[in-house]
Structure 1
Amino acid sequence: MTDYALEALKAKRAEITGAIARCHADIQRLSEELEHLDATLRLFAPDFVAESVLPKVFTPPKSWSKRGEMSRAVLSILRIAKGPLSTREIASMVVQQRGLEVTSEITNIMTRRVGHVLRDKRDKGVVRSIEETGLWLQWEIVR
């Protein structure tokens, strides 16, 4: 029995060291590309200081969700709702649940995201929209 575990651990180690080697190769390739770019910049601007250009770091906004998080939030709100809710009402509840600052910009972003989730779940038969004569569709869980 330990032979199987030992072989599995060896295979996992080989997988991890392979991933590390690929990362090192990527770093090497990117370093060479950066050197070439710096040399090209010095052709056009001989007094160029490469360190004067700060790295561009991507930080996602706080309103972003991880995979499936938005769907779970929307469906849990609809499950405990006493009746049908509009897209905007659901979006407002998601904003409150996540502890985000309630602004019109955040509410509009969340309304679009909630609407996308609801349309996707409607296509899969999980929720249904109720035709209302208002601005927003009313949504409920299919029971």
Structure 2
Amino acid sequence: MTDYMVTGLVKRRAALAGDMKRAQEALSQMARDLETLDAAIKLVAPDLEIEAIAPKFTKPPEDWSRRGEMSRQVLSILRTSTKPLTAREIASRMIVDRGLAATPKLVNLMTRRVSTCLRDRREQGLVRNPDARAGVWMEWEVVR
């Protein structure tokens, strides 16, 4: 093996071990917080069965996509377009298609997500950037 490969693997292992340690510490803190809440509930409502309180799972926001949905929608928009589009134009169309309120914050968030999706699809050879003009936003089109 080469030295740079070993060095990279060692760095990745150290980072992953650090992430695991932080996650374990966060989990320990959550357990302590839960115990504190349980004690407070027992003080206020001693008859309440704490074990009967079901955990609440949060639902992701509506602007999230299920696996593969973002790519399908981005590629569909590009296929039906007659000209190359910017990531912001694609994001705006997605927001309209989903019936979401087009706030500046949501448009920026979706633009970042669409840009990431487009870069991944470019690496797969599905989309490309046509000849870029200086000073213009990066445009995208489907490889035909």
The verdict on a shared fold, with TM-score over 0.5 as the criterion, is yes
Equivalent-residue separation in structure 1 for 2:123 and 2:117 (angstroms): 10
TM (norm. structure 1) is: 0.63
Deviations 1:14-70 (A, max 9, x none): xxxxxxxxxxxxxxxxxxxx8xx648963x997365869995541211101111111
Counterpart of 2:43, as a letter, is: D
Q: Residue 71 of structure 1: SS of its match in structure 2?
A: helix
Q: Residue 108 of structure 1: SS of its match in structure 2?
A: helix
CA contact 1:70–1:117 (8 Å) conserved in 2? yes
Q: Residue 139 of structure 1: SS of its match in structure 2?
A: strand
CA contact 1:127–1:142 (8 Å) conserved in 2? yes
Counterpart of 2:124, as a letter, is: K
Equivalent-residue separation in structure 2 for 1:133 and 1:87 (angstroms): 17
Measured after TM superposition, the shift of residue 129 of structure 1 is: 1.4
Which residue among 40, 43, 47 is the counterpart of 2:43?
47
Larger Rg: 1
Deviations 1:96-123 (A, max 9, x none): 1111101101101110110011000000
Task: Give the equivalent residue in structure 2 for 1:122.
Answer: 122
Cα distance change of structure 1 residues 83 and 55 upon mapping to structure 2, 3 Å threshold: same
CA contact 1:86–1:139 (8 Å) conserved in 2? yes
TM (norm. structure 2) is: 0.62
Equivalent-residue separation in structure 1 for 2:35 and 2:45 (angstroms): 9
After TM superposition, which residue ranges in structure 1, 4 or more long, deviate above 2 angstroms? 37-42, 44-57, 130-136
TM alignment of 1:1-143, pairs within 5 A? 38=35, 42=39, 47=43, 49=45, 56-130=56-130, 131-134=132-135, 136-143=137-144
RMSD, aligned α-carbons: 3.1
The unaligned stretches of length 5 or more in structure 2 are: 1-30
Over the matched positions of the two proteins, sequence identity in percent amounts to 46
Cα distance change of structure 1 residues 40 and 73 upon mapping to structure 2, 3 Å threshold: closer
The unaligned stretches of length 5 or more in structure 1 are: 1-33
